[in-house]
Amino acid sequence: MVGVSFSEALNELLPGGLPHRERCVEGAARHLALIEEANRQFNLTRITDAREAVVKHVLDSLLPWKLFAGAEHVADAGTGAGFPGIPLALALPETRFTLLESTQKKARFVESAAAALELRNVAVKPVRAEDWLKTNRADVVTARAVAPLAKAIVLFAGALKQGGRILLYKGPDVEAEMEEAAGEARKRQIRMRVVERYELPGDMGRRTVVELRRGV
């Protein structure tokens, strides 16, 4: 990766009010360096610029951190290289995170990264999220770049216990997805709503976080 260093970009871009900000800068820089190193063996990300990696992976994961604050247990479904789970775990050390990734190589990488960062609040499971959720529960289930909402409802609906939430990172044009998913949501008595919108710096995209809860 080229340009500024990960630490420089993180120091510049992470918001001032982020909890444990210094720990986030240090840990996220190490995480991105581990991804860069692993990328030589197998593809974890196509992003090759340090600033872009910070924005599209770390900052994108962390900007809605307040939605996760106070949760005892968060499951990150399809964590990939560890997003949003590892950045959120750095910012919220009192919250337990289970990172779910069915691709064995990626799961092994994330497990080694969590160990290198000494993230005692992180467990990694090399399983499909929908299978894990059949027998396990979390206060919050989250995912980035997951299936369209209609399919996500089918995959994750079983995780919605009383008071539980699903928080899905989506793109800017989520209303059409919500409209398409409305019938499935009604059938399963799931309420969908947009809980946060934010813009990434440098024209790198707009994001929407959609919350799913039990209830009509």
pLDDT tens string 100-154: 999 999 999 999 999 999 999 999 999 999 999 989 989 999 999 788 999 999 9
* Percentage of residues in the chain having pLDDT higher than 90: 77
> pLDDT band at 32, cuts 50/70/90?
very high
Q: CB within 8 A of 15, min separation 6: which ones?
A: 21, 62, 63
- The secondary structure of residue 72, as a DSSP letter, is S
Q: What is the pLDDT of residue 157?
A: 82
Write down the pTM of the prediction: 0.94
Q: In the predicted model, what is the mean pLDDT of residues 162-175? A: 89
CB 99 within 8 Å of CB 78: no
Q: What is the pLDDT of residue 162?
A: 63
CB 50 within 8 Å of CB 32: yes
* CATH number, domain 62-214: 3.40.50.150
Q: CB within 8 A of 70, min separation 6: which ones?
A: none
Enter the tokens of residue 31. 């995480």
Where do we find the tokens 């809860």? 213
Domain ranges of the chain: 62-214
